[in-house]
Amino acid sequence: MSWLCRHCLLDRREQPRRRDLLIRVFHHLLAGSAVGLNPKECAVLHTWLDNPAIRQTPAWQRDPLDATTVRLATSVAEDKPTTWIAYPTASTALRAMAAAEPDHPEARPLQNVLQHVTDWDTNPSGVDTRRYGTGTPYRQQVLRTTPRPTWLSELGGPFFLHKSFDPAEEGVGEEPEDG
């Protein structure tokens, strides 16, 4: 995975909300890698998945996440530095969470992430894989050419994080004053 801005690297990892977790998962899936979570992120994901309605979704029924929830709970209890979740398992978790809680406040960002995961799998824009391969450059091109842009694709993808700034640094990201 590439570099991350201070907010993504520190704040989102030390006090993660569901949205922060979704962005982190999106970063890893865009890179085509497994998703590495710290104990606090594991706790958020475990709490989210520990819902009887999620266990009843078609995604969970096709690919049960019972072992994943045990791993997440164990990682939290043992304060394990990093717990890795495979790309297909992360996709299943996203699909199960979306199906179980369609009216949750994080439903829209979750649907956006899922849309891009589906786009990467189906290539609706017909991105030339001979030119871009099947890795990160391909996924970035699919983001740029998606027929249904989301706030993630409109930003150019999460690896353009140099647009972010540290709000603690005075004057950074502000318009210059006249005079």
Q: What is the pLDDT of residues 161-177, one digit of tens each?
A: 333 434 444 443 333 34
Does 25 reside within a domain?
Answer: yes
- DSSP states along 114-162: HHHHHHHHH-TT---HHHH-SSHHHHHHHHHH-SS--HHHHTT-TT-GG
- How far, in Å, CA of 140 to CA of 31, rounded? 9
What are residue 161's DSSP bridge partners?
none
Q: Are 75 and 39 in contact (CB under 8 A)?
A: yes
| Residue 60 resides in a domain | yes
**123-174 pLDDT per residue, tens:** 999 999 999 988 888 988 998 888 888 887 776 554 443 334 344 444 433 3
Q: Which domain holds residue 159?
A: 6-163
User: Is position 21 within any domain?
Assistant: yes
Examine residue 177 and state whether it is found in any structural domain, yes or no. no
| Domains held by the chain: number | 1
pLDDT of 6-58, one tens digit each?
655 667 777 788 888 898 899 889 888 899 999 999 999 999 999 999 999 99
**35 DSSP assignment:** E
In a domain, 174, yes or no: no
Contact 93, 63 (CB under 8 A): no
In order of 52, 128, 168, 178, the CA distances from 14 in angstroms are: 27, 39, 17, 38
Residue 168 placed within a domain: no
In a domain, 1, yes or no: no
Could you tell me if residue 171 is inside a domain?
Answer: no
